[in-house]
Structures are given as C-alpha cells and as structure tokens.
Amino acid sequence: MHYSEIKTYDIANGLGVRTTLFVSGCRNRCKGCFQPETWDFHNGKIFDENVWEEILDSMVPDYIQGLTLLGGDPFEEENQKDLLPFMREMKRRFPDVEDAKKKKHRCKNVWAFTGYMLEDLLPGGKKHTEDTDELLSYVDILVDGPFVKELKNLTLKFRGSENQRLIDMNEYRRSGKIVTVLGS
Ligand code: SF4
C-alpha cells in the first residue's frame, strides 16, 4: 500500500487531537472530490514499518485522542489487507483499558472515512473481504458514503455532503442498529 500524507496534531478529521493517515487508492471517483490525486494506488510513498513507527510514536502523548484513517479509501480491498496488520499493532501498543467497574474503554479511538456504505462492508457487501470484519472491529466512528457534490454543505461537521453518516460502531456492535452521531 502507498499513502499520500500523514497529518499529526490534526483537529479537522475527528474529535480531539489526532494523527491522520491518508492512504492512496480510491475507486469511488466522486465528482468534486477534494483530493483526486489520492485515487492513484501508487500516489505518495510506500507504507512500510518505518511509517508504522512514525504514526505510532506520534500517538503516544496522552492528549492524542486517536487515529483517523482517511484516503483515498481505506476500504479498498488492497488497502484493507495492508492496514490490518498495522491496526493490530496499533491495538497492541494502545490496548483497551478497564475501569473499576470492569468496563472496557478505548485507550485511543479510531475514526475511518470511506466512500462506501457500511452495508457494503458487511458480510455479503461488495467491499467485504476476509479482512473487513477485523478491520471494522477496530473502528469507533465510521464516516461512510460518497461525497455528493449536489449535497455539499460547508457547515457539516467532519463530512462534506449531507448523505454522509457518522456511525457509532460501538453502538452498532452492541445493538446491531445504525446510530449516527454529531447531527449526521
Ligand atoms: S471516496 Fe473520498 S477520496 Fe474517494 S473519490 Fe470520494 S471524496 Fe474522493
């Protein structure tokens, strides 16, 4: 996999201060896409273990709330395959923590943006692969859906067009219901 950019101390792509990884490669080709250079799967640099370290090191301070996966599209099949081992390592370094009531909490949360719908990523969906269930299990907020120019709205938080949803994936795992957050 290639990546186009890493943004550290990012406050634009999820709640709190985060590290954001822009992977390369996207087949959605949304009209009006704000970064068409990332459609090319070979844009940018190779995502190797040195890059893993750079990202993981940047997440160490307590004030870094988490990691955002952006693109391109992290859920293109080949990107899922290469992101999965990295995400396993991220969870190994930043495991969930247990409170006094034995409730588990994320040490660092994960946001992921995709031009596909959650339904496309579920078993039977067109983007579901052998890697998808585990990769999705690490995601707390999924921002899904293509960017639709006609529905563009500059006042929206963390999304470009009104059709896109900010889905609480922990709630989805708990109840099986799609619950959107932050007014989406
Ligand atoms: S999914 Fe994102 S990166 Fe891909 S074409 Fe749409 S807006 Fe651009």
Q: What is the pLDDT along the chain (184 residues), one digit of tens a residue?
A: 999 999 999 999 999 999 999 999 999 999 999 899 999 999 999 999 999 999 999 999 999 999 999 999 999 999 999 999 999 999 999 998 887 777 777 789 999 999 999 999 999 999 999 999 999 999 999 999 999 999 999 999 999 999 999 999 999 999 999 999 988 8
Q: Tell me, what's the pLDDT at 137?
A: 97
Contact 47, 86 (CB under 8 A): yes
d(CA 6, CA 59): 12
CA of 17 to the centre of ligand 1 (A): 23
Q: What gap in Å lies between CA 158 and CA 15, rounded to an integer?
A: 9
pLDDT value of position 184: 80
CA distance 156 to 5: 23
Helix, strand, coil tally for the chain in percent (to 5): 30, 25, 50
pTM score: 0.95
pLDDT at 156: 94
**Strand, helix or coil at 139?**
coil
Q: Is the CB of 115 under 6 A from ligand 1?
A: yes
Query: DSSP 3-state assignment of 6?
Result: strand
Indicate the top mutation candidate among 33, 40, 68, 159 to test ligand 1's pocket, ranked by most ligand atoms within 8 A of CB: 33
CB atoms within 10 A of CB 65: 19
